[in-house]
Amino acid sequence: MKNLHTALVKFNLHNQVKVSSPIALSALQNSFPSSAGSFRPEFVEPVFKPMLEFLRQTGSYLMVNIYPFFAYETNADVIPLDYALFRENPGVADSGNGLRYFSLFDAQIDAVFAAMSALKYDDVGVVVTETGWPSKGDQSETGASMENAAAYNGNLVRRVLSGGGTPLRPKADLTVYLFALFNEDKKNGPTSERNFGLFYPNEEKVYDIPFTVEGLKHYHDTHSRSSGGGQRTVTSPVRGGVSKSGAGNTWCVANAGAGKERLQAALDYACGEGGANCQPIQPGDACYSPNTLEAHASYAFNSYYQKKGRAGGSCYFGGASYIVSEQPKYGKCELPTGY
């Protein structure tokens, strides 16, 4: 890495071209909870300290390969599938820092950030150089299926193009590379290793997902909400009291743990470009009181969610919201169930 950088300096290309090297998540001693993230001790002095110092000095970034599939495959009894696939879910609270995570992807990235922070390298950025999900696997490879691969990669595109960092680094600008373009049909190993591609070797699509903001407007995760693998919802009441729902409806509310900046940015989007009906939370209107960011954001998020027909992915807002199955009430304002 140093020799490559020296060569780039010689030809005055070091500002345009950065040098780094990818690490696997297995380079971490701990990755759960995210706040306990740490590098394997035998690699700290000989590898990570000098490598991170080099990245800092050259203005480069740490490359990380993140695969929630492998974590889910070996821990399917404790990791909810919706949590691994970016679908709506109650989230997982980090007991170490109080943050709530709504995707395993974000939690794994923050474990890397925490490991870097423990070595005092908070200023070095991270790029996800590989992530993906296999569309086929051996019988023992739990979760490897076409539906799950399409859900993971489609929702990943939504997650990245929607912007926003992670719960630990909300201002981080995430760059993510999807693995892989083609199935590697000659590759050794378990069946999953040959089935991470978006295309078959004959150039036909394995499944169809969008890659642009425009394409996302018409994209819906095909996951069924029926029982037997249906969408997970939160049943505990949110602050402000609840009234029971007898119609099997769901609502989208603000995640106070996301922080004021993320909530405000998501609220601005929902009321602006998102097209939510935010008139009732204006001064003097029915749901202006209580005048709190959480209450107003909940109203706006739910308006957007209901207008989108409660479609998969429409209650995300970069992790600033989550779904409840009991009708939330803030003061005298009950959130509507539809438009």
* Residues classed as catalytic: 130, 184, 187, 193
Strand, helix or coil at 127?
A: strand
Burial class (CB in 10 A: 0-12, 13-18, 19+), 69: buried
Cβ atoms within 10 Å of 292's Cβ, excluding its own: 15
Distance between CA atoms of residues 111 and 245, nearest Å: 38
User: Minimal CA–CA distance to 106: which of 150, 21, 164?
Assistant: 164
- Helix ranges (H only) for 131-283 are 146-161, 213-216, 260-271
According to DSSP, residue 336 is labeled P
Q: Output the six-digit token pair for 252.
A: 């989208």
The H or E element that residue 6 is part of is helix 2-10
Which residue has tokens 């690490």? Answer: 23
* Plot region of 229 (φ>0 → left; ψ -120 to 50 → alpha; else → beta): left
**Residue 54 and residue 2 in contact, taking contact as beta carbons nearer than 8 Å:** yes
DSSP state of 171: T
The answer to whether 83 and 104 are in contact (CB under 8 A) is yes
